[in-house]
């Protein structure tokens, strides 16, 4: 692809067509003069999707990879962005909406971070942000953002993020869920541990740039019944 974009947006979806439509409409409403490229990775949904009225690329994957093979889905997205020429890359789940002036806010906050080793800025902020998550790091408060040293797959970055990961998520062994089937996919944890080991800076916005409410999770349903995911 020879086109140059300001933002490449990657959305993963499973059986949430209406939420996805709302998010896509929200993205186009917020884009202003930015040139954006949206690609939807559909993880083998049973429900029917009709994206023909939207200027987006729709990649259908079969069969459904689910939680235990979510690393396969993410590998597909990583291989895809390798070919995209964009200043920024944004990953979003299908069940969020955006704050107003979304693109300006996330870009400006990302650029505000003076750390030469910054690698990503997570934009979904909830109560977990002040906990030690995966890398055993206590969040550092820098005013408009925290340095947290973890990534939960809703973020903005530049292509360097993918370069240093070699465009690859390593296979997550099924033994991960032997003692606790409610554990997450392990993908965010793997990314966080690998980038932390390489001394790259991972950050979170203090105010969430996306809106996530208390609705059923497709991937971690039982865990979300115990631990809600509601943005601050």
Per-residue pLDDT of the chain (232 residues; tens, 9 = 90+): 579 999 999 999 999 999 999 999 999 999 999 999 999 999 999 999 999 999 999 999 999 998 999 999 999 999 999 999 999 999 999 999 999 999 999 999 999 999 999 999 999 999 889 889 999 999 999 999 999 999 999 999 999 999 999 999 999 999 999 999 989 999 999 999 999 999 999 999 999 999 977 545 555 444 433 444 455 4
Residue where the block lists tokens 């003692």:
179
CA-angle at 33, arms to 53 and 111, nearest 5°? 120
Determine the topology of domain 4-226 in CATH.
Spore Coat Polysaccharide Biosynthesis Protein SpsA; Chain A (3.90.550)
**Residue 39: strand pairing partners:** 10, 57
Q: Structure tokens of 133?
A: 């998550």
In angstroms, what CA-CA distances link 59 with 12, 76, 141? Answer: 10, 10, 38
**pTM greater than 0.85 (yes/no):** yes
Q: What is the pLDDT of residue 213?
A: 72
Name the phi and psi angles at 19, rounded to 5: -65, -40
User: Is there a contact between 23 and 97 (Cβ–Cβ < 8 Å)?
Assistant: yes
CA distances from residue 68 to 43, 151, 177, 219 in whole angstroms, order as listed: 12, 18, 8, 9
Contact between 190 and 170 under an 8 Å Cβ cutoff? The reply is yes
């Amino acid at each position: 692809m020879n086109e140059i974009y300001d933002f490449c947006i990657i959305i993963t979806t499973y059986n949430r067509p209406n939420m996805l439509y709302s998010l896509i409409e929200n993205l186009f409403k917020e884009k202003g003069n930015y040139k954006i490229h949206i690609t939807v990775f559909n993880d083998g949904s049973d429900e029917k999707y009709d994206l023909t009225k939207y200027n987006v690329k729709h990649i259908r994957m079969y069969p459904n990879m689910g939680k235990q093979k979510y690393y396969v889905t993410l590998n597909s997205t990583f291989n895809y962005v390798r070919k995209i020429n964009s200043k920024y890359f944004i990953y979003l789940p299908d069940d969020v909406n955006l704050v107003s002036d979304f693109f300006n806010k996330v870009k400006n906050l990302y650029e505000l971070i003076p750390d030469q080793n910054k690698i990503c800025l997570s934009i979904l902020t909830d109560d977990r942000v002040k906990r030690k998550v995966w890398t055993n790091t206590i969040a550092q408060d820098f005013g408009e953002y925290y340095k947290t040293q973890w990534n939960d797959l809703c973020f903005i970055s530049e292509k360097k993020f993918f370069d240093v990961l070699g465009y690859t998520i390593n296979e997550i062994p099924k033994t991960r869920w032997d003692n606790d089937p409610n554990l997450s996919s392990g993908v965010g944890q793997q990314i966080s541990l690998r980038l932390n080991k390489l001394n790259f800076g991972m950050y979170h916005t203090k105010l969430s740039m996306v809106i996530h409410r208390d609705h059923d999770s497709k991937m971690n349903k039982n865990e979300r019944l115990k631990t809600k995911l509601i943005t601050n």
